[in-house]
Structure 1
Amino acid sequence: MAVTTDSGTGTGPGTGDIPKVISVDDHVIEPAHLFETWLPAKYRDRGPKPLTAGIGDLAYVGGKYRFTTDPEGQLTDWWEYEGELFPYKRIIAAVGFSRDEMTLDGITREQMRRGCWDPKARIEDMEMNHVEASLCFPTFPRFCGQTFAEAKDKEVGLACVRAYNDWMVEEWCGDSGGRLIPLCLIPLWDIELAVAEIRRNAERGVRAVTFSEIPTYLGLPSIHSGYWDPFFAACQETGTVVNMHIGSSSQMPAASPDAPPAVQASLSFNNAMASMMDFLFSGVLVKFPRLKLAYSEGQMGWIPYALERADDVWEEHRAWGGVKDLIPEPPSTYYYRQIFCCFFRDKHGIEAIETVGVDNATFETDYPHVDSTWPHTKKVAEEHVAGLADDVIYKLMRGNAIRMLDLDFDR
């Protein structure tokens, strides 16, 4: 956003110290009052409603949650929307719990650390964690607004998208002095409405939108179809970064349908890799040379080989592979020009940072999820970047995020 703030970087680059982090992937637990406050009155009876009730059995099967309700079960905060129930689970509000307590059990906001849903408390937790600014993905709407895209009543769904965005910009981020960076939704089911929402939010300083890593998994057109071109054009024109979180396709990779959740967690980067290949060979980045893509929580150690393989396929197989006239330069050209990755535990990626791209990698803390480095982010970062040049450390910890999101912090 166009907000000038105190940089808070301490001694800054060139001193050997870790500058304050700008995290490009965190999460917010929506407050219970969100839709009552921000949804127009005529939609409130059909919009999402908060409730607190017991939860029954909860499992993670084939990359999706399965649960039952139980009046005698553990007290849990839910959303009710169009007859469906959406519980909050401890693993998505895990900060403050021990590793052995980070389970699939339900949780209430009262049991969560307050920074999960309160912006002032979030900034306090950021201060404890050596973090200056944070970009937060949604929870109840899911990572790119799938909840509203799946709604039967699209008029109410559109109102919910707009209400969420208004809350995000004006309440969650509004009093933060630029430290909480707005990340908005689009109505995925209507390209014209999506473009209008990009422009509406860009006019008030928003420079980030969340999008599906693999839209076809959501029953939407692919990026190869040309359907999304008006959306990409609007993002390019307004400088809006397209942010794609792992799981924003509503499924996670698994080797077997009955594999334990640890398999999905270990393979989570696969969706980011598949999505990046889609974009590199789609012609989208050729057609929109100033469009910026960001992959969230996909880590980066896989990127060097992915680029090597993409360039090799382009060199050796482009004729029969269908991209001879579509992709005029090696695919890695477009990656280095237009794509950002992020990491928080990826020492292999750091060892290959020159190939990953010192101008392409950003940092995240994943607050408040089970993977979060809170409150030890500074220590984790120091262990990763020890031995790197100070100017490279600065880029990884904040400089690339500032450039990616066009932030008014120190450059």
Structure 2
Amino acid sequence: MATIVEDRKVESAVKDMIISADSHINEPPTVFDRLPAKFKDRKPVMMRGIDGGDGWSFDGNPPKRTFGIEAMAGFEKKDFKLSGMRFDELRPGNWDGRAHLDDMDIDGIYGSVLHPANAIQVYSLADRELGVACMRSYNDWLLLDFQAVDPKRIVGLPMLPVDDGMDVTLAEFERVLKNGAKACFIPGMPVRPYNDPYYEPLWAAASAADISLNLHRTFGGKPDKSDWDELVDQRVSVGGIVFRYFSSVRPLTYMIFAGIFDRHPNLKIVAAEVDCGWVPFWGQTMDAHWEAQQAWFPQKLEHKPTDFLGRNCFVTTIDDYVGYDLIKTGRYPYLAAMTMFSTDYPHSATIWPNSRAVADKLTEGMTEHDRSLVLRDNAIRIFHFGE
């Protein structure tokens, strides 16, 4: 596989800082080494697949899919492959914090928000005691090994066990905060929808701590079996990749109309890798039905739905030219306030190592105020970069 020339590094001036609000790691074989001894025989392991690549086994059987599209940074598009890569073929920036900083410098990126990769499968393990223990091991590796290399520039998103009881969830929330977490990950397909009152203690805790909770498309949990893709079984389609750009409409809409953001005005929910071009129509539709259906809908809102956009609800984008052109019109002020740029390193959709050039093209003609919001200021505020 041909690799992209990478003999350049870019020093970013602080005044023109760019932050990627959605990047990823690919976990190393040691990620679950912190599991208690009693889980030794049940520990998930990386092993060689039948296609010659390496992948994760969570049940002792060969991996359902080996590394591929989730680790394409550095390869030409013509050489992209769904699977079949060995771990030693991955760029070290996938799993080593210091190497990740080097790749950020090559790309001209100051800061990076890191989402999980294969580790999200622990949300679907039948053995929930093991699943929670794996989350804790992952979270410790992410915060104490990866993020700790430079916590001012790297923000890891530890996973919260939201399906395993609110006491367990809050205990892990408090634990990861003590270990340096600046934001947390929640699954895209939880057992209970996020408008369920069950989550009220988590919303309150996150609000009080000023910690954002981050969804990434449908990552985490069990998708509907009728879906074309089934990420637990590692079935992936191009149609599924496209659909997931719209996957946050349901949870965010339900949370807004359930009155969650009225009750928790400091709560911040980030929907990653969904872009923003669809947002104005969604906002228009929410406002229209909020006005038209108030007579019979029991949940009253203190604010119109679009008031929560940019205050409570946020999205990350990659190369959404439609969305950025809408920001330039100035017709939707909430759009710049809720949008954050990202590189999607190291996935097949990544714009690495050309992210700075793409950002410049995307924001050409945008006001400096809005450009600053989408490229850095929103991310600094939500993820506490520099702290």
Calculate the TM-score normalised by the size of structure 2. Answer: 0.88
SS at match of 2:149: coil
Partner of 1:34: 31
Partner of 2:4: none
Q: Confirm or deny that 1:239 pairs with 2:239.
A: no
Q: Confirm or deny that 1:174 pairs with 2:148.
A: yes
For residues 123-272 of structure 1, what are the structure 2 equivalents within 5 Å?
123-142=101-120, 147-188=121-162, 189-215=164-190, 220-248=191-219, 250-251=222-223, 261-272=237-248
Contact 1:184 1:210 survives alignment (8 Å): yes
* Cα-Cα RMSD: 2.3
Contact 2:269 2:312 survives alignment (8 Å): yes
Q: Confirm or deny that 1:402 pairs with 2:376.
A: no
Distance 1:385 1:283, change over 3 A: same
How far did 1:161 drift?
A: 1.0
Contact 1:199 1:238 survives alignment (8 Å): no
Distance 1:187 1:301, change over 3 A: same
SS at match of 1:185: coil
Calculate the TM-score normalised by the size of structure 1. Answer: 0.83
Contact 2:229 2:240 survives alignment (8 Å): no
SS at match of 1:110: helix
How far did 1:326 drift?
A: 2.9
Deviations along 1:8-45, one digit per CA (max 9) or x if unpaired, are 74161xxxxxx231111111010111212x22233222
Looking at structure 2, the residues matched to 180 and 357 of structure 1 have their Cα atoms a distance apart, in angstroms, of 25
Distance 1:398 1:375, change over 3 A: same
Partner of 1:4: none
Contact 2:189 2:222 survives alignment (8 Å): no
Distance 1:148 1:307, change over 3 A: same
Looking at structure 1, the residues matched to 345 and 69 of structure 2 have their Cα atoms a distance apart, in angstroms, of 11
Would you identify which runs of 4 or more consecutive aligned residues in structure 1 move more than 6 Å? Answer: 252-260
Deviations along 1:318-361, one digit per CA (max 9) or x if unpaired, are 233x24x4323211112232111111211111122241432221
Q: Structure 1 or 2: larger strand share?
A: 1
Distance 1:257 1:26, change over 3 A: closer
Structure number with the bigger relative contact order (C-alpha 8 A, sep ≥ 6) is 1
Contact 1:296 1:342 survives alignment (8 Å): yes
Deviations along 1:284-325, one digit per CA (max 9) or x if unpaired, are 1111111001110000000011001000000012233x24x4
For structure 2, the residue ranges without an aligned partner over 5 or more in a row are 1-10
Looking at structure 2, the residues matched to 80 and 214 of structure 1 have their Cα atoms a distance apart, in angstroms, of 21
Bigger CA drift: 105-114 or 236-245? Answer: 105-114
Contact 1:294 1:339 survives alignment (8 Å): yes
Identity rate of aligned residues, in percent? Answer: 26
Match of 2:279 among 303, 317, 323: 303
Deviations along 1:371-400, one digit per CA (max 9) or x if unpaired, are 000000011101110111223212211111
Equivalent residue pairs, number? 366
Distance 1:86 1:94, change over 3 A: same
Question: Amino acid of the residue matched to residue 340 of structure 1?
Answer: F
SS at match of 1:157: helix
Q: Confirm or deny that 1:50 pairs with 2:46.
A: yes
Deviations along 1:162-221, one digit per CA (max 9) or x if unpaired, are 111111110011122422212111113221100111111122331211113342xxxx12
Partner of 1:119: 97
Q: Confirm or deny that 1:96 pairs with 2:74.
A: yes
Q: Structure 1 or 2: larger helix share?
A: 2
